[in-house]
Structures are given as C-alpha cells and as structure tokens.
Amino acid sequence: MNSLDPRVIRLPDIGEVGRINPKPALDQFGTYEVFVLPKEGKPFQHEGIVHAPNLEMAYVLAKETFTRRFTCASLYVVNTLDVFVSPLSEGNQNVYDQIPQILNQNSAKVNYEIYHLPKRGKQHVHVGRVSASSPEEAFSIAKEQFQKEKIVYNVWVIQSTAIRYTMNEEKDLWLTLPEKKFRDAAEYKGGEKLKEFLKKSKR
Amino acid sequence: MSNNAATIELLYKMADDQLILGHRNSEWTGFGPILEEDIAFSSMAQDKIGHSLALYTILEQLGERAPDTVAFTRKANQFHNCILTELPNGEYDFSLIRHFLFDTAEALRFELLKNSSFEPLAQVARKVRGELRYHTLHANTWIKQLGVATEESVSRLQGSLNVAIPYALGIFEESPFEKELITSGIFAGEHELKALWINKVEEVIGETNLQLPDWKLQTPILGGRIGKHSEYLQLLLDEMSEVFNIDPTAEW
Amino acid sequence: MYGGGNTFEEVKTDSFSQEDPIKLAEFEARIERGEKIEPSDWMPQLYRKQLIRMIEQHGHSEIIGALPEGTWITRAPGFKRKMALMAKVQDEVGHAQLLYSAAETLGKSREQMIDDLITGKSKYSNIFNYPTFTWADCCFISWLVDAGAIVNQLANAKGSYGPYCRALDRICAEESFHLKYGHHCVIYLASGTQKQRDMFQEALNRWWPPMMHFFGPADKISIHTQVLMKWKVKMGTNDDMRNQFLDMYVPKIWELGFTIPDSQLKKNSETGRWEYTEPDWEEFKRVINGDGPCNKERLEVRRIAEERGKWVREAMKAPNQKYVSPLA
C-alpha cells in the first residue's frame, strides 16, 4: 500500500479491499475482570476487563493493559462468569438490606473474596475474604461481617480458587515501574526551554 | 585496559541487540492481532529500548559517545547486534518465535550478569529482572498455547522456528574476548550461555507439538557481532535516523 | 444474583415514548441526584443506543488515531522521543481497549464494533483521516489534537454512565503525559533551527482546518439533543468545546511565535467568545463520508491487521467459551 508510513508500505496484501467476513455474533474470546493493588497496604480494586482465551493468558495480557502506568504492587484476574453479583441499590438504600440471611450450611467450605461498590460510578473494592459452602452463603456471611453504617451499593463474590493471583516470586514484575519516567508527564517540563526562548525572541 | 575493551565489546553487542529488536517489535504497535497483545508487545519493545539506553549510558561513562549519537549515527557495519534481531517482522508467528528465542537468551544472560565483577552491568542486570520475568512469562505462555492449538498455529510456529534457529544460534557468536571476560568474572561467556539456552528452549518447546532440529546439524548464521549484517540493517537504520539526520546537531 | 455479566439485548427502538413511565422517572431522578447509571440498571433504549454509538466511535477514534502518529514511530529522533512516542501510540491502543470494554457493558460485542469500523458502518473522528507529512505533524497531533480530545473527555467524564466515566478518568490521567510530551516537542521545534520552526509552521497550516472541524458543527438544539443533555449523555455544545479549546491553546501557540492560518481569529473581549472564519463544513461532510485524504488507508490498515491476526484468535478460541458482556 502506498503510504507515508513505512510500516504500512511493508504490510502484506491480504484479503479483499474493504471487505471482511463478519464474525458470527458473540463468537469471540470471553472477558476477564482485572483487579489491581495500587500499593501495599491498600485494597485491591477493579480496574476493567481484558479479552482472553483463558485465565493464564488473561493474566499475561492484563499486566500491561492495566499496570504499565502509575504504581502497582500486585494484580489478579478472574473470568467474568465466575463473579457472583448482588442487586444494585441507589440513593440511601444499602444493598445488604436486600441480601437474605441464610442459615449456616454444614457442607465443605471454601474461600470467597468479597468486594463492595462504595458509590455508583466508582470502582469495586476488595473488603475481605470469607469461608463459605456456597456463593449465597458467602453473601450472607459478608453481610454479617462487612455491613457497616456506610452504604454499599453492590457486592461481588468470587471463589478464591477461580482467581489467577500474582505469586510471591512474581512480585518483582513491577520493580522498574517507578523508573519508567518516559511515560510520566512530570518528565516533560518545557518551562526552562520556553523561558529561554521567550527571552531570546523578545530581543 | 584490555578488560575495558572486552567490557566495551560486550556492552555494545548487548545494547545493539536490544535497540534493534526493540525497534523491530515497535513496528507492531497498532497492528497487533488482539488489542491487549498489541499493548503487551509494545511495552516489551519499550523495555528493550530502555535496556539499550541503560547500556549505552554505561558505555558513555567508559568514554564512548553519547547514546543518541551512538544509536542514530552509526552505519550498519559499526553495529554488533546479532542478525536475528534485524530481520523483518514477518507475520506474528515469526515475531513471537524470535521474541521467545531471543528473550530466553536475554533473560539467562542477565541472570549470569547479576554477579558480574563489572558492577554497573551487574546493577542493570539486577534491576531488569522483573521486566525479563514478564517477557519470558509472555513468550512462554504464547508459545505453549499456540504450539498445541490448531494445525495452522502449529505449522506456522514450526515454519518460523525452522527459519529462526540458525539465526538464534548467532546470538552466541563468540567475541575475541571470551577468555578475558570469563577469567575476570565479568561474564560467564557465550559457550555457557548457549548451553543454558538450549536447555530452556528444549524445556518449553517440549511442552508443545513443535519439533526442535538436531542441534548438531545446525549451522549458526554468524557475522553480526563483527559488523557483517544482512541487507535489512542499513535500511532499518536509515529509517530510524531519518528525522534525527535532518540535523544531527539540532535538539528535537 | 447471578454468575457474571448481563444478557444480551438488541437495540430496537429510537424513541422513548413507549418506555415504562415509572422506570423512566426513577432513571431520570437518579441522574438528577447526580448518581451514575451502572450496566445492570434499567435504561431507556435511546440512552443505550446513543451511548453505544458515542463510546464505540470514541473507541474507533483511538485505534485509528494510533495510525497518523504511528507513521513516525520508527523515525522518532533520539531515545527520549522514540520511547515516548512508542508509549503514547500504545496508550491510544490502550484507550480503545478501555472504551470498547465500556461499550461492551451496554451489550455490543467488541468484535461487532471492529467489524462495523472496517466495513465503514460506524464512524470515527474525522481528523485522523489527514496525513502526517513530517515529524512536526506528529508533534501537532501529540500536543493539540490530544488537547482537543482532553477538552471533550473531561466534559464527558462528568456524564451519567458509570463505565464510560471510569474509562475516561483513566484515559484523562494518561493523557496528561501526552499533552506535556506534545507541548515539549513543539517547544523544542519552536526554539530550534529555522528549519525546525518552518516544519512546525507548515504542520500548523495543514492541521488548523481539521482542528477547527474536530469539535463538529454548531449543534442544532432539537428535543432529541435536549433529552440527551438532560440524561447527561451529551455534556456540552460543540461550539462551547471549540471555544474552550481556543481559549486554552491559541495563546500557547502564539506564545511560541507561530501564526495561526486564520486572519479572522480573535477573542471578542465583550462576549468572551472566539471569532473565526467559519470552517468549511462541506469538506467536513465529505471527509466523514469517506472522501478524505487517508480514509481508505486507515480502514485498510485496520482490515489487514484484523486479517493477519485472525489465525491467532482462531487458534486460541476455546470452543466452549461463552461470551457475556463484562460487569463494569
């Protein structure tokens, strides 16, 4: 192809100009929800999604999609289908009021991570972990443990085994992040150069 | 003094490798197969350019010219990168295979350099370990998954692997200073690195449906380390320095 | 409660007369209170449809917007510019990823959006259909087109749809680097050699008309747009955005000693509004409809990228994987 971009000139001719075989509806990768720990001592928060063919690839792709800028101490991903979602409340209604208290079940228990939406429009934030025998029970236990005065608008529950966590030995993935100054606005101070230029052009 | 020459030679070939491959990989930005992968591949290209800058900066401290001058004004025959890094990107299978073969070697090289007696290099090696952990995680995940996925993906990767292996063996082209580097504790040498690399490549490829060639029957494609390059390098450099050379004394 | 994602809903209607009046009243009250709308909320069909269109177009503008600057990605002069431009173009791809994800929460799949881009069914920002002849054109985009985008995005970030606002907050935070980087590049051209100054002046001459087009023609205030403003989908008039941009950046361009190619351009001290030669809206329409200098190339590049990546996506797709729209 003729272009000002040498990379475009090098593109191979492939297919037919202006035509693409439409993809069958919904025939695409699934989505994975991405949670980031901005720094140690803070909670994990939901940052968005990636499209990926499986959990491990979702982790690999989420790392640069969501943690190439700013600070990061850890990251994890989970299939969207593995997130259990409460109703959504509004105004001064606490969503926990809509979550039923259920009797403690006696079957085998596993860990669930619990997330709150503290305000509509904000991100879901990790508040803790409970041990329960079903997602419903996890919601119920979360209600006992995490319902405070502050209004919660939405609760997510994720079984811990469904999550691809960052392993301890992987924590050095973000080691040089603070040093990548070329991605940082503060690195582009033109003030001095500008002043010098203005002084010169006044003369 | 001869140690200095050996160190300079080592730094140049490493820096040139990273600059040229980082440049090549950056050509994919905006053209990648999946948005998320486009982003990941670009980050790793940026890391590579960053590594080359760190190494050229050490060279400047050893009395060489400034990084911009070194990177943007030398001719192809003054570059010490291995030929693997300068080859055109081809399709994504070739770019991925090259990324896997090169970054496996790079990660092992920096691992060996962590305890280098040449402290500035040891520092860089310790610092970039996290970035290289990501590069190899990324490369291994893709190769392991595409290497067992479909007939097309396996045959594409296999074809690219066959083309790339002789060039990849050129990474380990020995320098005239191998002995000095080893005895002075600066670097364990290309021979040892190559053995580690073969092990690692066999381990990852062993988990796929891809076949590695018989190493004994492979003829490494050499010359890059002494400035003998393919026709592609000068073209790459002309393009890279087009704006810089409008006026090399100007500040951009 | 359910496991993950919202089920898919086809957008059928353009009007809101058939909407449930009680639900509509609750919806409007929520927006009135300043609360955001989230994906699982009930929403009028028109709201959904307009948001999908807007966010999708915004996403397309980012992925196509990576191309004019990408033209110089292999030629950026010096390490500092090379690394910054790589990171900046990468961010544009990242922004597309974020915006498509936000649009997906409304029920349109990403693949469908990409198909619609390539076949020309959906649009993107007109300005990216112009060529970047020199390094200075690239600097113009990094500084001033991004500046224009930020004016729009900051306004839209105050809109009513949660996922779009979250994406925009993230995007605006990243754009601050773009803007600073772009200004930095132009300061260096301005204070450099005569050749460098000329390069930027020529780029400015080329890019000023599309920059004036960037915010779109003056809005016709119809009932339709009034509703969208009430629902906080549309956050300001095109003329307001343009005026804000001129207010912030014309002085900065003049400060560097460059001439803006419009002899009518001046700020009216009484009204506080900028006056300028009316942009050529016929050309704007022509380019939007496909007849700009680079429309064909931009779509071809995307199409070829899709075609070349197809084997990767096909190979990785798990046969039993189910796509649902993402949560937030």
More confident residue, B27 or A203: B27
Task: Judge whether C254 is closer than 8 Å to chain A, CB to CB.
Answer: no
pLDDT, residue A26, reads: 67
Q: Is the predicted pLDDT of residue A58 greater than 80, yes or no?
A: yes
Candidates C109, C118, C328; nearest CB to A28? C109
Candidates C8, C36, C187; nearest CB to A193? C187
Q: pLDDT tier at B2 (50, 70, 90 boundaries)?
A: low
Q: Which of A95, A97, A74 is nearest to A86 (CA)?
A: A95
Q: Which pTM value belongs to this model?
A: 0.96
| Chain A positions in Cβ-Cβ contact with residue C306 (cut-off 8 Å) | 20
**Residue in chain A nearest C26 by alpha carbon:** A90
Q: pLDDT tier at B1 (50, 70, 90 boundaries)?
A: very low
CB-based contact C93 B72, cutoff 8 Å: no
CB-based contact C104 A4, cutoff 8 Å: no
ipTM surpasses cut 0.90: yes
pLDDT tens, chain C, 328 aa long: 344 333 333 344 456 667 899 999 999 999 999 999 999 999 999 999 999 999 999 999 999 999 999 999 999 999 999 999 999 999 999 999 999 999 999 999 999 999 999 999 999 999 999 999 999 999 999 999 999 999 999 999 999 999 999 999 999 999 999 999 999 999 999 999 999 999 999 999 999 999 999 999 988 877 888 898 999 999 988 999 999 999 999 999 999 999 999 999 999 999 999 999 999 999 999 999 899 999 999 999 999 999 999 999 999 987 777 888 899 8
Task: Judge whether A54 is closer than 8 Å to chain B, CB to CB.
Answer: yes
Q: Give me the residue spans of the domains in chain A.
A: 27-171
Task: Judge whether A61 is closer than 8 Å to chain B, CB to CB.
Answer: yes
**Residue in chain C nearest B148 by alpha carbon:** C315
pLDDT, residue C321, reads: 76
pLDDT, residue C16, reads: 63
CB-based contact C73 B53, cutoff 8 Å: no
Q: A interface mutation test: which of B34, B35, B36 has the most A CBs within 10 A?
A: B36
Side-chain-side CA neighbours of residue A192 (13 Å): 3
- Residue C314 falls within a domain, yes or no? no
More confident residue, B46 or C227: B46
Tell me, letter by letter, the H, E, C secondary structure of B82-103. Answer: CHHHHCCCCCHHHHHHHHHHHH
Task: Judge whether B247 is closer than 8 Å to chain C, CB to CB.
Answer: yes
* DSSP type of residue A82: G
CA distance C274 to chain A (A): 25
Percent of chain B with pLDDT over 90: 98
pLDDT, residue C101, reads: 97
- Average per-residue pLDDT for chain B: 97
| Chain A positions in Cβ-Cβ contact with residue C316 (cut-off 8 Å) | 29, 53-54, 57
CA distance A63 to chain B (A): 8
CATH at C225: 1.20.1260.10
Domain count, chain C: 1
Candidates B35, B127, B133; nearest CB to A173? B133
**Residue in chain C nearest A199 by alpha carbon:** C191
- Residue C316 falls within a domain, yes or no? no
Q: C interface mutation test: which of A28, A60, A65, A114 has the most C CBs within 10 A?
A: A28
| Chain B positions in Cβ-Cβ contact with residue C73 (cut-off 8 Å) | 26-27, 29-30
| Measured distance CA(B228)–CA(B209) in Å, rounded | 35
Question: Range of C275's domain?
Answer: 22-305
Q: Is the predicted pLDDT of residue A16 greater than 90, yes or no?
A: no
| Chain B positions in Cβ-Cβ contact with residue A12 (cut-off 8 Å) | 91
How far apart, in Å, are the Cα atoms of A16 and each of B30, C129, C170, C306? 20, 21, 37, 12
pLDDT, residue C10, reads: 39
CA distance B128 to chain A (A): 7
Q: B interface mutation test: which of A61, A69, A184 has the most B CBs within 10 A?
A: A61
How far apart, in Å, are the Cα atoms of A9 and each of B85, C17, C88, C133, C294? 21, 52, 22, 15, 14
CB-based contact C78 B246, cutoff 8 Å: no
| Chain A positions in Cβ-Cβ contact with residue C299 (cut-off 8 Å) | 18
pLDDT, residue C15, reads: 61
Domains and CATH numbers, chain B: 2-246 (1.20.1260.10)
pLDDT, residue C225, reads: 81
pLDDT, residue A70, reads: 84
- Average per-residue pLDDT for chain A: 93
- Residue C15 falls within a domain, yes or no? no
Task: Judge whether B247 is closer than 8 Å to chain A, CB to CB.
Answer: no
Q: Is the predicted pLDDT of residue B117 greater than 60, yes or no?
A: yes
Q: Is the predicted pLDDT of residue A31 greater than 80, yes or no?
A: yes
Q: Which tens digits make up the pLDDT trace of A125-183?
A: 999 999 999 999 999 999 999 998 899 999 999 999 999 999 999 999 999 999 999 99
